[in-house]
A = this chain, B = another copy of it.
């Protein structure tokens, strides 16, 4: 019983990956508060104290997972569009939306990114996270520039931020738990939770069309 030591950097990375993977599994199955170092240790088979060598809080691990999902999402976007082709605004909006739908966990992590995850993390870890996140953003920005060559880069950056805000806020309103559904039912208010895909698509289509006008004028 017990793990052999991770001597090389490669092995060290394997340990980190194992921890992130285990945390991902936990994230998909249990509630946020039940993701603890104890649970992660159990899931990985590591000793709890051993985790402290690699991470100092669960939020740090989840940021790592977020980066992973973010890269997967950016790849999906890349694959959704061909470089040579030219696309209408509606087509861009649809491909974009689909990439999110393929990465549901990314959506739910983004929803707590700025309010929860970034709170219990050291400044250094946060800085490194920001670096990795900006890398992905740059890649996506380039891609978007290729799709919408008529729009200024700064305007596209602004769009990226706005849609990110929208995604963060819309996700938890759209994907609600059974208990939330029941509460709505019991409230008798007739409230209907928004449908993520159509709402998101709607808004970003409006935003993208607006960009065109901004850039022209």
Contact = CB atoms under 8 A, between A and B. Distances in A.
A191 B141 CA distance: 13
A180 interface: yes
Contacts of A129: 183
A83 interface: no
A192 to B, nearest CB: 9
A128 to B, nearest CB: 7
A185 B126 CA distance: 11
Interface in A165-186: 165-170, 172-173, 176-177, 179-180, 182-186
The interface residues of chain A, by DSSP majority, are classed as helix
A176 B119 CA distance: 10
A115 B126 CA distance: 21
A111 interface: yes
Interface in A186-216: 186-189, 191, 194, 199, 202-203, 206-207, 209-210
Contacts of A183: 123-124, 126-127, 129-130
B180 A126 contact: yes
B115 A172 contact: yes
A210 to B, nearest CB: 4
B187 A128 contact: yes
A114 B187 contact: no
Contact of A187 (B131, B167, B186, B209): B131
A162 interface: yes
A112 B126 CA distance: 20
A106 B172 CA distance: 17
Given A118-B180, A194-B161, A189 B131 contact: yes
A76 B87 CA distance: 43
B130 A187 contact: yes
Interface of A: 31-32, 111-112, 114-116, 118-119, 123-124, 126-131, 134, 158, 161-162, 164-170, 172-173, 176-177, 179-180, 182-189, 191, 194, 199, 202-203, 206-207, 209-210
